[in-house]
Amino acid sequence: MTATAPHLREDLLTPRFYTTDLAKAARTDLQEQRPAFEAMLQEMETDYNRDHFDRKAPLDRLRDLDPEQKAAYESYLVRSCVSEFSGFLLFKELSRQLIKAGRAELGRLFSLMARDEARHAGFLNRALLAEGISIDLPSLSGRRPITWFPLSWVLYSVYLSEKIGYWRYILIDRHLKAHPDNAFAPLFDFFEPWCQDENRHGDIFNVLIRCWPGLRRGLRGQLLSRFFLWSVFLTHSLTVGERGDFYRLLGLDPTQFDTEVIRQTNRTARRAFPVVFALEDERWFELRDRMVALHRQLGEGGPAGVVSWLGRLGLRIRFAALLLRQLSQPMVASEVEP
């Protein structure tokens, strides 16, 4: 990044870059899901958002922001931009390898999803350039480690990341339409159609999960559902806690926003996962609040010394105990067909 924004440290580029078992992905059996697959491929080919990401649209009109508010906005842009670029790289590599393995239709579908992710990353990068910040996206993948995940992990985690992304965007869009005075950047004008890309990608990964029936059945399906819902929700809660200033800048209460995103995503996941968390009572969110507070304490610096070290160790132990309690919270059957 350019030196014009010293508040944007290198450790803001936190999203990792992923790969998976490409040979196994090439063995995806589309037979049972052929009608749904062809419908999704046709929808992606239609490209409803072809003209949405106008390269000439002005993105530099900001309401007057003080330095701290500007830093919160720019940090949000950086994290989001790198995350979208990470998705682009994963989908692009999957497309290339699937076409190479003779799975042209499947490769085409991933190529179209890579197209969408590239548009998102490019649009966010333009918003950063309007702030005088330049990120060399192509060089990032060479500097950051490539993380290998099993195919089942990729299918579950990407499904959830797309669906939770949809709910983030759509809830922000609805809030800003109800409170237009808080829409301080023209970037937000593009959120409604943008979030439909996220929703569509999630639906595609739902189809792909169904191509591997064993991923949704028995103990394995329950464990995958529990682990990935928990890990994605936990990551979202901690990230929203870290970006609280950005959400308050939009006029949103960060905790309430996180709660609604999690509730809606959990409800949506009933269409794909065999079980989801029972969020009717407040136990999940009480544990969330305690973990976010502890995470904030752990992120704060403190004096060196044995006493301080023991204190931080105690915080880490308490945090780990809360993690396990939240992971073990009750789940309910989704009543989706096996």
Residue 228 one-letter amino acid: F
Do 27 and 34 touch, CB atoms closer than 8 A? no
Q: How many CB atoms lie within 10 A of CB 233?
A: 22
**How far is it, in rounded angstroms, from Cα 200 to Cα 234?**
23
**Residue 120 has which token pair?**
């998102």
For 28, counting Cβ atoms within 10 Å of its Cβ (0-12 exposed, 13-18 middle, 19+ buried), the class is: middle
Residue 88 confidence (pLDDT): 92
Place of tokens 């579950």: 156
**Residue 294 has which token pair?**
């502890």
Domain extent, residue 127, equals: 10-54+66-277
Q: Is residue 308 situated within a structural domain?
A: no
Q: b/e for 132-147, b at 16 or more Cβ within 10 A?
A: ebebebeebeeeeeee
Q: What is the DSSP letter of 304?
A: -
For 272, counting Cβ atoms within 10 Å of its Cβ (0-12 exposed, 13-18 middle, 19+ buried), the class is: buried
| Long-range contact set of residues 217-225: C-beta below 8 Å, sequence gap at least 24 | 217/274, 217/338, 221/273, 221/274, 221/275, 222/274, 222/275, 222/331, 224/152, 224/156, 224/273, 225/156, 225/269, 225/273, 225/274, 225/275, 225/276, 225/331
Query: Tens digits of per-residue pLDDT, 149-163?
Result: 899 999 999 999 999
Q: Is residue 219 situated within a structural domain?
A: yes
Query: Tens digits of per-residue pLDDT, 125-147?
Result: 888 887 888 887 777 666 667 78
Helix (H) or strand (E) holding 216: none
Question: Which are the contacts of 69, defined by CB distance < 8 A and separation ≥ 6?
Answer: 245, 249
Give me the residues of the chain with pLDDT under 50, please.
1-14, 306
Q: Is residue 313 situated within a structural domain?
A: no
Specify the number of domains making up the chain. 1
Q: Is residue 290 situated within a structural domain?
A: no
Sheet strands (E) in the chain: 17-19, 146-148, 275-277, 331-333
Residue 60 confidence (pLDDT): 62
**How far is it, in rounded angstroms, from Cα 130 to Cα 5?**
13
Q: b/e for 41-64, b at 16 or more Cβ within 10 A?
A: beebeeeebeebbeeeeebeeeee
Q: Is residue 335 situated within a structural domain?
A: no
- What is the reported pTM? 0.90
Do 182 and 250 touch, CB atoms closer than 8 A? yes
Residue 147 confidence (pLDDT): 81
| Long-range contact set of residues 198-203: C-beta below 8 Å, sequence gap at least 24 | 198/162, 198/163, 198/165, 198/166, 198/169, 199/162, 199/163, 199/166, 200/40, 200/43, 200/44, 201/113, 201/116, 201/158, 201/162, 202/159, 202/160, 202/162, 202/163, 202/166, 202/268, 203/40
Do 25 and 151 touch, CB atoms closer than 8 A? yes
Residue 13 confidence (pLDDT): 40
Place of tokens 């004096």: 303
Residue 159 confidence (pLDDT): 97
Residue 151 confidence (pLDDT): 93
